[in-house]
Structure 1
Amino acid sequence: MDILQTIQHQYNKLSDKEKAIANYVLQNDSRLQNMTITNLSQVTGASTSTITRFCRKMGAESYVDMKMKINSISNKIEVKQDDYIDQIFYYYNKIIDMTNKSLDKQLIYDAIKKIKEAKRIYIYGLGSSGFTAEELNLRFLKMGMTARCLTNTHLMLIGSSTLTEDDLVIAISSSGGTDEIVETLDICKERGAGIISITSFADSYISEISDISLVVFSSKFADEKKFVNTQFAIIYLLDIITTILMSQEESYTLNYDKADEMMTRRNRFAKP
């Protein structure tokens, strides 16, 4: 785990001032080399002593040592503030790169094994994560799996009350602390269902309660003000899971292709 991964991993345990430092460092890692500790203090509102303590919490001996550790792993691309096309390209590449570093490949294969063995799959998500949950549900249905997506709090609670040990719940929450998801997963755990979580924070409650937690890089750490696709890293992970599933089971691929063919045929004969 490099220092940028460590910062994200420790993020929820930080004070407000330390989070301000973490946000700036994660969003501006390539610019940090030209900043003194005083400069960083001015832009974050944190004192130099707080910055020094933050550095030590992250495993660096000093601010200079933190800069050296970050410099050894950071993307050196400089993006002009008014070049929005290059900015988005940079953000997407940064998120892919950091997610690749965060993902545990063995856990992905363990999750895929649980998905294949489950009698029924329930996918939970709220807000933007709800749209991602619907996308994953659609992929599973097209592969011929018995899956259901629940993006309504009341339906989540009702659905969870009937789960069995043969069922699997996949909970999607970037923050890992959505109250409604937390409450629902407590019920899922009591019912003995398997739980896979997809989140950006390894120390979150849903990560801790899950049998398997898949951690991706948070888009807010690419650029909190400009970057709007909070689900990009999760979609990238879903692409990985989908590709591996279809490579392992020919029936998934055949079912998926048949579903696509049926939809194409329906659209062709649909009235204009």
Structure 2
Amino acid sequence: MTKIDILSLIQSRYHTFTNTEKKVADYILENIKDVIYMSITDLADACNVGESSVFRFCKTLKLRGYQEFKIALAHNTSLEDEMPQLSSKITMQDTIEELSSKILTANVNALTETHNQININDVSNAVEMIIKANRIHFFGVGASLMTALEAKNKFMRITNKTECTIDSHLQIMSASLMTKDEIAVLISYSGSTKDIIQVAKVVKERGAKIISITRFAKSPLTSYSDITLLCGSNEGPLQGGSLSAKISQLYLLDLLYAEYFKRTKKESSINKESTANAVIEKML
């Protein structure tokens, strides 16, 4: 994508905007650095407009959507010596020791924020839903698919009712065959990925329950969710797939796994021993 001076573009076209678009533009110009880390729902709420109005604002700027707008904004706000593709904290002058310290701090902060946002009742209810479900489907696309596969790998060691489909077409087909006795765990940092939202919509239509693991309490995904678990990592639009975001998602999944194991200790212990023995000959 060609770099766009998005702030100059907004200012130059301001007089052509509708009143609603001017509300969005005003908020962006006054809160530039905050907007980079906001979901489309958060921005819409802050401007007191609908998500569709934010999307139309982006289209008025000749952009494909909100994500392209945030990428352009991230380019616009980065300083010459910063590395927005990695983090706003990392600069070209950093030594390896400084990089090591900054990355450690980012990961620790992500885990700490995730821990602080944990709602004990939500976790307890989520585990109970997983236990009662006949089948658990883990869904994700892009970097979040890797997290979904990790969850499948983790849970399949103690239960035989897990699924994780890789291809997005097969995911929506799988969702279309779900029943009310099954559960979908949807993983999406932004909560606004089109494929995941489509899966959530179909799962909901089938009457199955949804647990979402995402960064934003308000997003298109959470509107379909029965339970939302929030991960606490700020990921800029140029930092897609950052490990701090993945680590915070894995932390929540590990919490669900440990509590599931506790509540189903007898069955889970037997299954864990069986799966461990099944691969023992693969080890030296």
Q: TM-score range by the shorter chain?
A: 0.5 to 0.7
In 2, are the aligned partners of 1:219 and 1:231 still within 8 Å (CA)? no
1:107 and 2:119 correspond: no
**C-alpha RMSD of matched pairs (Å):** 2.8
| Alignment TM-score, normalising by the size of structure 2 | 0.65
Pairwise CA distance, 1:167: 0.9
Unmatched runs of 5 consecutive residues or more in structure 2: 1-23, 39-75, 79-92
In 2, are the aligned partners of 1:174 and 1:198 still within 8 Å (CA)? yes
CA offsets per residue over residues 171-190 of structure 1, 9 Å max, x none? 11011000011111111111
1:22 to 34, 48, 55: 34
1:213 and 2:228 correspond: yes
- Report the counterpart of residue 142 of structure 2 in structure 1: 127
- Report the counterpart of residue 49 of structure 1 in structure 2: none
2:276 to 241, 246, 260: 260
- What is the DSSP-based 3-state SS (H/G/I as helix, E as strand, rest coil) of the residue aligned with 2:185? strand
Which residue identity does 1:233 align to in structure 2? S
Could you say if the C-alpha distance between residues 23 and 187 of structure 1 is closer, same or farther in structure 2, counting changes exceeding 3 Å?
Answer: closer
With 247-256 and 132-141 compared, the bigger mean Cα shift is at: 247-256
2:263 to 241, 248, 266: 248
Unmatched runs of 5 consecutive residues or more in structure 1: 1-12, 27-42, 46-79
- What is the DSSP-based 3-state SS (H/G/I as helix, E as strand, rest coil) of the residue aligned with 1:142? coil
Pairwise CA distance, 1:253: 2.8
Cα distance in 2 between the residues matched to 1:237 and 1:195: 15
CA offsets per residue over residues 44-91 of structure 1, 9 Å max, x none? 59xxxxxxxxxxxxxxxxxxxxxxxxxxxxxxxxxx943122112211
1:147 to 162, 170, 180: 162
Which residue identity does 2:214 align to in structure 1? T
Structure with the larger RCO, 1 or 2 (CA within 8 Å, 6+ apart): 2
Cα distance in 2 between the residues matched to 1:174 and 1:91: 16
| Alignment TM-score, normalising by the size of structure 1 | 0.68
Matched residues, number: 205
CA offsets per residue over residues 134-179 of structure 1, 9 Å max, x none? 1111122111231110231111111111111111111110110000
Which residue identity does 1:171 align to in structure 2? L
Which residue identity does 1:253 align to in structure 2? S
With 223-232 and 139-148 compared, the bigger mean Cα shift is at: 223-232
Cα distance in 2 between the residues matched to 1:128 and 1:257: 30
Cα distance in 2 between the residues matched to 1:137 and 1:226: 22
Pairwise CA distance, 1:257: 3.1
1:169 to 172, 175, 184: 184
1:196 to 211, 234, 252: 211
Cα distance in 1 between the residues matched to 2:162 and 2:30: 41
Cα distance in 2 between the residues matched to 1:217 and 1:263: 35
1:228 and 2:242 correspond: yes
In 2, are the aligned partners of 1:219 and 1:227 still within 8 Å (CA)? no
1:158 to 173, 190, 194: 173
CA offsets per residue over residues 212-261 of structure 1, 9 Å max, x none? 1111113416x966993131110111111111111222221331233123
- Report the counterpart of residue 3 of structure 1 in structure 2: none
Could you say if the C-alpha distance between residues 267 and 17 of structure 1 is closer, same or farther in structure 2, counting changes exceeding 3 Å?
Answer: farther
Cα distance in 2 between the residues matched to 1:193 and 1:114: 11
Which residue identity does 1:20 align to in structure 2? I
With 245-254 and 154-163 compared, the bigger mean Cα shift is at: 245-254
